[in-house]
Amino acid sequence: MDFIQDHLKDNLKILFVGFNPSLRSGESGHHYANPNNRFWKILHLSGLTPIKYKNEEDYKLLDLGYGLTNIVSRPTKAADEITKEEYKEGAKELRAKIERYRPKVVCYVGKGVYQEFTGYKNVPWGCRKIRQFLEPWIL
């Protein structure tokens, strides 16, 4: 099973960050490939995409200014299989990606992703300013 390729470029409008790929994504090589995952449907219903993309078309989001990555690149059946060490290393790598590609918005696909990235456990739902999500790193 391979790692899923990130879809990144400079100055993205939005960078979507997931926990890690599912086993189905690991097998197919595409983000959000599990048929039970609602990412593609929600993305379209939100109005961010003109059509409901298929997971095989994940790379096409770059044309819209959207990128895809994960905090941990190893595919697992469930996020609870990710180790603390993987989260720690993944957070460092994610910070480097954000600094390198400078997206206007980072959208964590799940509140838990943000919590693992920042180390904050009690986080309200909602938007944060860029400085806020980098805050743990600006010490």
Active site residues: 20, 31
In sequence order, what are the beta bridge partners of 14? 66, 105
The whole-angstrom separation of Cα 94 and Cα 88 is: 10
Smallest Cα–Cα separation from 74: which of 17, 20, 5, 16?
20
Long-range pairs, 94-102, Cβ under 8 A, ≥24: 94/17, 94/69, 95/134, 95/137, 97/6, 97/8, 97/15, 97/69, 98/15, 98/134, 101/8, 101/9, 101/10, 101/11, 101/12, 101/15, 101/67, 102/10, 102/11, 102/12
